[in-house]
Amino acid sequence: MIAVVGSCNVDFVVPVAVLPGPGETVLGRDHLRMPGGKGANQSVAAAKLGSPVAFVGCVGDDALAPTILSALDGAGVDTSWLRRVPDAPSGIALITVADGGENTIAVSPGANARLGPADIEAAAGLLSEAAVTLVQLEISLDAVAAAVRTARGRVVLNPAPARSLPAELLASVDVLVPNRSELGVLAGAPEPTTPDEAAALAAALDGPAAVVVTLGADGALVVEDRAATHVPVSQVDAIDATGAGDAFCGALADALARAEPLVTATEWAVRVAGISTTRWGAQSSPTRDELS
């Protein structure tokens, strides 16, 4: 079982030729409304690969909630621990996607900000039994810390959106999964521009037992015991990178729950994330049948 503790949103996506700069307005094509949120995205990605997944989160009491619930239920995610918050809006993300897949994202957390330690306590039985507990940072740090403390299986933390984290929290993480910029924030250093720079920063981090750095078109980097292994990516025709990191994390959790070695799990995650960029939407990761 994989337990995912995190956010769930509805994404409003506007395809554009180029991303707008500060103060600039650009005209886009027809907008898309899709389910999203890092926690929900990662839950759906792992469930589509065949893992049993349960999601711990909060949704609003509004017209957007059914979109979120339908996507989770449709993927087979257990939503028994998804709390509906009265008088709160569901989370939303406003996304612009340029030709080629690059994007910018603004998130309004809504009900996600109401997820707290009491919700984690209510799910303590789930987190104590899960082989992998997967957490991100679109929820309160109190909820993140409570989930990490309560989990008894392998703890995977995706530190996104980027913020500095307490040393005691990082020390309880088994696998940290940052991208380049998130790694720079955690290390208190400039964003690494090469895999070698990323490897050096990841190896110098105190706390997590292992670090897997996602490098976009350069694949990923696995750092264990200060030794780095580079996992390259296969070339794909990307159209939307939204949620690619979430597809990666969901696939990584899927493989780790099946007791795969971390490098093997990362190879699987790179493959799944790459395919997800060839489709629109943050929950566009492939099923296991599509990968066979």
Say whether 246 is catalytic: yes
DSSP labels, 183-197: HHHHHTSPPP-SHHH
Judge contact between 194 and 201, C-beta under 8 A: no
The angle, 0 to 180 degrees and rounded to 10, between the axes of the packed helices 65-75 and 38-48 is 20
Judge contact between 58 and 111, C-beta under 8 A: yes
DSSP labels, 80-117: EEEEEETT-PPEEEEEEEETTS-EEEEEE-GGGGG--H
Enclosing H/E stretch for 39? helix 38-48
Annotated catalytic residue, options 119, 246, 254, 289: 246
50 CB-near residues (< 8 Å, 6+ apart): 254, 288
Active site residues: 246
